[in-house]
Amino acid sequence: MDFGEEVWRKVKVIGSGAFGTVSLAITNPKEICMPPFLAVKSAELSSAYTLTKEGRILPKLQGCPYIIGFYSHGVSIEGKEDKFFFNLLLEYASLGSLGDRIQQYSSAGLPESEVISYTRSILKGLKHIHNKRYVHCDIKPDNILLVPSYSDDSSSGVEDVVPKIADFGLAKRVGKRVKKDAEHLRGTVLYMAPESIVHNEFEPHTDVWALGCVVLEMLTGNQAWNWDPDDPLSSLLDRIGYSDELPVLPGKLSLEAQDFVKKCLVKNTALRWSPDMLLKHPFVSRKLNDKGSIQ
């Protein structure tokens, strides 16, 4: 393929969302600082506010192996109408999302050893984000991407699967108030913390609540809140924000797993554990053997 002066070229669309589209792109072999494949998030320049915001935040969060890699951003002219697009050049997660992985297991839930490994990595990513004085505000399985880790010493060529936090379009600075919008909720309701619903509060502890929902979903294969999409959204908001109800923890889960989730899903934010505390919890501090099983 003749790239000419191009650094990268889109191959196909692999995803879409409110922000725009995600395309798989290949890079010019002459670009030694670029990997062979990229994920390119694109939106028309006139409606690229969320994407440009993400482009400002992501470079500040690099240096952590559990945050999706950022390479560059720029504007391209595309299509017959020569429209301007804003593009983010990101690490390509060839294994899809954590949401995809959970669906592969249907309603059985992932093996606990796998959940432990993923949870430990996500916690380290959250700790890094919070130490940089940011809140993600939309932690959920679809925003955790899975990237293979390659090793020359591995006979299979693949040593591990690394979960990486992605999609920082809703992220905000710690302590910065956000305007309440009655028509648009910030984040995804099934993973929203009670304080976000009641007080429009989005701080590091709200990411921890969302993590608790994600961990429970990994363990059970089902979302933390049993809710019928045909029911009014207000009923779910009331349950999460204004009642004493908490997600049900199946008895089949290990005691360590149940206690870990309980430490995340605490409605009193002063009692909710931080990522630093959770990294020391017995559920994630247990060692895994070479085969990924719990020792």
**What is the set of active-site residues?**
138
As a whole number of Å, the end-to-end CA separation of the chain is 49
Specify whether the CB–CB gap between 224 and 151 falls below 8 A: no
Longest Cα pair distance anywhere in the chain, in angstroms? 62
CB atoms within 10 A of CB 126: 27
Cβ-based neighbours of 98, under 8 Å, separated by 6 or more:
118, 141, 142, 144, 145, 146, 163, 214, 218
**Is residue 180 marked as binding?**
no
Which tokens in the block code for residue 88? Answer: 């983010």
Which residues are annotated binding-site positions for ATP?
Answer: 41
Which residues are annotated binding-site positions?
Answer: 41
